[in-house]
Amino acid sequence: MSHVEIGGLSGCVGETVTIQGWVTTTRSSGKVAFAVIRDGTGLLQCVLVKSQVAEEVWDRFQGLTQETSVAVTGEVRAEPRSPGGYELGLTGLEVIGESVDFPISPKEHGTAFLHEHRHLWLRSRRQVAIARVRHEVVQAIRDFLYERGFVCVDTPILTGAIGEEAGNLFSTEYFDLGSAYLAQTGQLYGEAAAAALGKIYCFGPTFRAEKSKTRRHLTEFWMVEPEVAWLDSDGNMELQEQFISYIVARALDRRAEELKELERDTSRLESVTAPFPRLSYTDAIAYLKSEGHDLEWGADIGGDEETVLASRYDRPVFVYNYPKAIKAFYMKENPDDPRTVLSNDCLAPEGYGEIIGGSQREDDYDRLLARIVDYGLDPDAYKWYLDLRKYGTFAHSGFGLGVERTVAWICGIPHIREAIAFPRQIHRLYP
């Protein structure tokens, strides 16, 4: 007799094994009883025949409730009609931990209630499916970059200067050195590392004190940020479309079961292949105006407008070369139109909006210094960053892909907060 995982039962048909897990559902006819057990690797139906087991095992079985943790022993049988394809002819049952009145029953619960019980809600089938898709996305990100020779460089979370914009910083006291900020991005450090290693990426949690309560915003989210020396803005978009296509293909290939559990229309993902359509900001504004949207050149493109633009295509679309005034200080001025910068957003279809922001970086010392001053930032805090333009400046570009937005899109879930195990939002710090 041995302890095995449900996911590993294929080699155990005919053997007697013990499985440890949690009870999801039970039913009994009086003579035969069933329980579905899950252990994180799969689901297993256990069958118990009253006349064939000791009385105390039968009685204990009748007392099982949702989420009781158990060790079940029995013979493994192939059973194509069962979830997972196997069944356990139960002969032994040990209750490890009771579960009285588990708060999340199969009936419908409100969103607020579910989020209050996020630590338990994670066990539900949909949430498990989302977690597995997320895991695949993260692994695909790392594999793609590894295969292409990118070096992972971990950048600091406590930082001394603003990375992205002043409006949504979290700050904390830092000993005698004044304020430290939780990183909004690892990019600036990534640029330094790109000068050492050529192609790098950083991948970690990033923080934005977003006051907005939209379905696309978290205050803590995970971002992967590749940074590449000697790459221009066009090459940057090519890298992005290959990256996204690879991630989506991996999820389709390896997480088909989970996407089915989530009832995702995967035909909408199958069309996600490079190249992606490209639309200049100027053309995007012209199109939106022609569709009756009330916005002028220079305005930011909001979530609703992103949805309108993206819904024209069956795959993500790039909007490139935004006005300088609405973008971050580090983006390179467009030599063909100095009102704009060499930047791009990548908008996912089906209303998911911006999943990537990227740009070519300003590589001229004087221009960058002027931008830093223009944005009201303290040049002293960026002395090290300016050094990158002083000692062997180099054309370089990079981008940041938001993991939760990407996962929400691939899973087809309406709100980003289910794409991370414990979401942090303006009104949520518990659990």
CB closer to ligand NSS out of 262 and 355? 355
CB nearer to ligand NSS: give 53 or 137.
137
Round to whole Å and give the CA distance between 327 and 322: 7
Using an 8 Å Cβ cutoff, are 209 and 168 in contact?
A: yes
CB of 255 to ligand NSS, least distance (A): 20
- 218 makes contact with ligand NSS (CB under 6 A): yes
Q: Provide the minimum distance between the beta carbon of 324 and ligand NSS in the complex, in angstroms, as a whole number.
A: 15
Partners of 401 in beta bridges: 224, 356
208 part of the interface to ligand NSS, by CB under 6 A: yes
Contact, 316 vs 272, CB < 8 A? Answer: yes
Burial class (CB in 10 A: 0-12, 13-18, 19+), 179: exposed
| Smallest gap from residue 290 Cβ to ligand NSS (A) | 26
Q: Is 199 in the site for ligand NSS (CB under 6 A)?
A: no
Whose Cβ is closer to ligand NSS: residue 21's or residue 357's?
357
* List 24, 155, 187, 245, residue binding ligand NSS (CB under 6 A): 187
Judged by CB under 6 A, which of 87, 210, 306, 362 binds ligand NSS? Answer: 210
73, 400, 413, 418: residue in contact with ligand NSS (rule CB under 6 A): 400
194 binds ligand NSS (CB under 6 A): no
Looking only at residues 317 through 376 of this chain, which bind ligand NSS when binding is defined by CB under 6 A? 354-359
Q: Which two tokens stand for residue 7?
A: 């996911």
Q: Judge contact between 358 and 234, C-beta under 8 A.
A: no
DSSP string, 175-194: GGG-EEEE-S-SHHHHHHHH
**How many CB atoms lie under 10 A from the CB of residue 273?**
14
Report the C-alpha gap between 249 and 128 in whole angstroms. 20
Strand order in the sheet with 199-207: 151-152, 199-207, 220-229, 396-402, 353-360, 343-348, 317-320, 278-280
Query: Whole-number minimum distance, CB 342 to ligand NSS, in Å?
Result: 12
CB of 45 to ligand NSS, least distance (A): 39
CB of 5 to ligand NSS, least distance (A): 34
Smallest gap from residue 92 Cβ to ligand NSS (A) = 48
Q: Are strands 396-402 and 2-3 parallel, antiparallel or unpaired?
A: unpaired
Strand partners of residue 203 = 224
**398 touching ligand NSS, by CB under 6 A:** yes
Nearer to ligand NSS, 258 or 354 (CB): 354
Number of residues that bind ligand NSS (CB under 6 A): 22
Q: Which C-beta is closer to ligand NSS: that of 221 or that of 281?
A: 221
Helix axes 187-197, 383-390, angle to 10 degrees: 30
Q: Which of 225, 258, 306, 362 binds ligand NSS (CB under 6 A)?
A: 225
Give 92 or 235: the residue with its C-beta nearer to ligand NSS.
235
Is the Cα dihedral 173, 178, 181, 186 positive or negative? Answer: negative
Binding site for ligand NSS (CB under 6 A): 164, 185, 187, 208, 210, 217-218, 221, 223, 225, 354-359, 398-400, 402, 404-405
